[in-house]
Amino acid sequence: MTVQVHDGFPFHDRQDFADADRGFVGAMEPCVVTTESGRVIWDNDAYSFLDGDCPDTANPSLWRQSQLCAKQGLYQVTDGIYQVRGLDISNMTLVEGDTGVIVIDPLISKETAAAALALYRQYRGEREVTAVIYTHAHADHFGGVHGVYREGIPIVAGRGFVESAVSENVYAGTAMSRRAEYMYGAQLAKGPAGQIGSGLGQTTSLGSIGLIPPTLEITQTGQEERLDGVLIRFQMTPGTECPVEMNFLFPERRALCMAENATHNLHNLLTLRGALVRDARVWSRYLNEAIDLFADDADVAFASHHWPTWGRDRIVTYLSLQRDLYAYLHDQTLRLLNQGHTGPEIAEMMSMPPELDQAWNTHGYYGSVSHNVKAIYQRYLGWFDGNPAHLWQHPPVESAIRYVDCLGGAEAVVAKAQEYVDGGDLRFAAELLNHAVFADESDTAARSLLAEVYDTLGFGAENGTWRNFYLQGADELRHGVRPAALDSAGAADMISALTVDQLFDSVAIRIEGPKAWDAHLVIDWVFTDLGHTYRTSLSHGVLIQDVDPRHGSADLTVTLTKADLLGLFTGRGLGDLSTEGDTGVVATLLGVLDPPRGSFAIVTP
């Protein structure tokens, strides 16, 4: 099996390397971050193999991107603005003020954030952190806040930040975390034939995640704030890379922060770990607005991933390319779907304008043209392509058993798959072998050939997350599912940031329907800290909530605080809470809950 590489890319263009090295102050040596107990949660030194030439187990374009992303250390962006890069998947930016330093986006983990701040202080002195800004509500931009926070400092974010930050991770969080293991390959061995990066950055750190809610809200474009003497002018960009995201200019420093709206790759309209679909049209519009608002006042544009771009003209070129990238994908997908083409068809038909293809920053290292086109189709038309043959298909195992039967049994399927491998059609070989594994997961011949096919597809992928998906799939075919390494204890902040509404929703989505079909119970929860009573009613397997109900009565009334409610559903039970009525209904409710499973199978049934 061999890797197929799209050639003709401008490898002679070394501008990105110059920009990624510009302003280098000093590196962290060694670049390994551990928890207090000594568990390694970040090891950038493990990527030193990227210094070598690209081996035939990697796509040269992704190899190049990983060389850039693996650069590590403290960098000066402009006078008084620094970035720590390569200490997590995201960047931490430090803006020096009158008395201390403002931190933009404190990475994922407390431990990597603290290490980044220490590296900065090593070169810039013991400046106190005077404010924190979250550019948007994704965990790699706020999770490490405890590593830099000082009591009483302002925390700045867009309106709706907390709701956005927690809601993305509440309802489908378990499945997303599991799929994120595939997407970032954080547990894969790093090496030329293993994990080499994720396109947007190298991988995710595996330390303690927290969340401290903002104290200063940004609500509109044009809003200005002065933090530690530094003037900041904001642009709200809701519905782009994140529902709550903002770009902002430091007019006195002539520096523009583009959050995660313009990075050196094609970003995701639908992240492969799973999420709500993003809006390419709006994304493009806000990039256009950013050029209009800020380009004349900026000498450098930086973001919370990758390296900055210097010079007014280069900033405009860069932002225009990014703008056109999302607009082109959006408009062409809509044009083609209105001619009757479906997502997988449009993904194959879509070719990008040559000028976009020749710019490195439009390449699909994180998002891809292929899966973004399908995401746009999904946003407008959903999962169904209109063909009735696809309306009521068998689920994977049932379908696989029938395919294997039609093809003359498992051995014949593997032999046929080998023919497709030999002919270079790995995509179809994967489909055949996946049927064989889903028809009989103990078929070792099918498993091992499928693992080889996944390896080769991964080695050929220009997209970092595709590579990680393939290699993680191969690893699990060979070794089974390994337990997750993430530290869930650090998620306590996230859980306590949930509203009571979201907490009851989280309970509702754990109810095992059939087990609860016949249960009927009503509980009134009187919250002394919120001044509201929530009524939850269980019937027909669903838990309905009402706030301050005006009619009817409950089987049980519990007087409590929100913290008590958290305790109740995380194993403490009613304890010594004040109650009136039948306390047995709580046991009934807890008895029908079905915990989520975080280590479910993906490449096997």
List residues binding Zn ion (CB under 5 A).
Answer: 90, 140, 260
Q: Cβ closer to Zn ion: 42 or 328?
A: 42
Q: In angstroms, give the least distance from the CB of 263 to Zn ion.
A: 8
Of 394, 382, 466, 396, nearest to 427 by C-alpha is: 466
Q: In angstroms, give the least distance from the CB of 104 to Zn ion.
A: 12
Q: Which residues of 211-231 are buried (b: 16+ CB within 10 A; e: fewer)?
A: bbbbeeebeebeeebebbebe
The label of the residue with tokens 């950038």 reads 44
Q: Cβ closer to Zn ion: 256 or 258?
A: 258
Would you say the C-alpha torsion 35, 152, 241, 509 has a positive or negative sign?
positive
Q: Cβ closer to Zn ion: 228 or 260?
A: 260
- The pair of structure tokens assigned to 184 is 């970032």
Q: In angstroms, give the least distance from the CB of 131 to Zn ion.
A: 20
Q: In angstroms, give the least distance from the CB of 441 to Zn ion.
A: 35
Is residue 258 within 8 Å of 309, Cβ to Cβ? no
Q: In angstroms, give the least distance from the CB of 97 to Zn ion.
A: 24
Q: Which amino acid is at 71?
A: K
| Contacts (Cβ under 8 Å, ≥6 apart) of 510 | 593, 594, 595, 596
d(CA 351, CA 370): 10
- If phi > 0 it is left, if psi is from -120 to 50 it is alpha, else beta; for residue 310 that is beta
Is residue 510 within 8 Å of 228, Cβ to Cβ? no
Q: In angstroms, give the least distance from the CB of 515 to Zn ion.
A: 39
Please report which helix (H) or strand (E) contains residue 524, including its range. strand 521-527
**What is the number of the residue whose Cβ is closest to Zn ion?**
140
Angle, CA 599 vertex, CA 493 and CA 439 arms, to 5°? 155
Q: Cβ closer to Zn ion: 90 or 208?
A: 90
Q: Cβ closer to Zn ion: 105 or 555?
A: 105
Q: Cβ closer to Zn ion: 140 or 245?
A: 140
Q: In angstroms, give the least distance from the CB of 170 to Zn ion.
A: 19
Q: Cβ closer to Zn ion: 130 or 268?
A: 268
Q: Which amino acid is at 375?
A: A
Q: Which amino acid is at 8?
A: G
Distance linking the first and last C-alpha atoms of the chain? 26
Helices and strands, counts by H and E, the chain? 20, 21
Q: In angstroms, give the least distance from the CB of 89 to Zn ion.
A: 7
Q: In angstroms, give the least distance from the CB of 360 to Zn ion.
A: 19
d(CA 537, CA 519): 10
Q: Reduced to 3 states, what is the DSSP secondary structure of residue 499?
A: coil
Q: What are phi and psi of 217, to 5 degrees?
A: -95, 140
Q: Cβ closer to Zn ion: 71 or 306?
A: 306
Is residue 433 within 8 Å of 453, Cβ to Cβ? yes
Q: In angstroms, give the least distance from the CB of 307 to Zn ion.
A: 15
Q: Cβ closer to Zn ion: 260 or 524?
A: 260
Angle, CA 329 vertex, CA 325 and CA 332 arms, to 5°? 130
Q: Cβ closer to Zn ion: 207 or 460?
A: 207
Q: In angstroms, give the least distance from the CB of 88 to Zn ion.
A: 10
Q: Cβ closer to Zn ion: 272 or 560?
A: 272
Could you tell me the CA-to-CA distances from 477 to 318, 345, 467 in Å, in that order? 41, 29, 15
Of 424, 436, 427, nearest to 477 by C-alpha is: 436
Of 30, 40, 210, 250, nearest to 119 by C-alpha is: 30
Is residue 239 within 8 Å of 279, Cβ to Cβ? yes
- The pair of structure tokens assigned to 207 is 């330390």
Q: In angstroms, give the least distance from the CB of 456 to Zn ion.
A: 29
Q: In angstroms, give the least distance from the CB of 304 to Zn ion.
A: 6
Q: Cβ closer to Zn ion: 89 or 430?
A: 89
d(CA 65, CA 17): 10
Q: Cβ closer to Zn ion: 90 or 536?
A: 90
Q: In angstroms, give the least distance from the CB of 90 to Zn ion.
A: 5
Q: Cβ closer to Zn ion: 96 or 260?
A: 260
**Side-by-side strand order, sheet with 521-527:** 542-547, 532-539, 521-527, 556-560, 578-581
Could you tell me the CA-to-CA distances from 21 to 15, 55, 563 in Å, in that order? 10, 24, 48
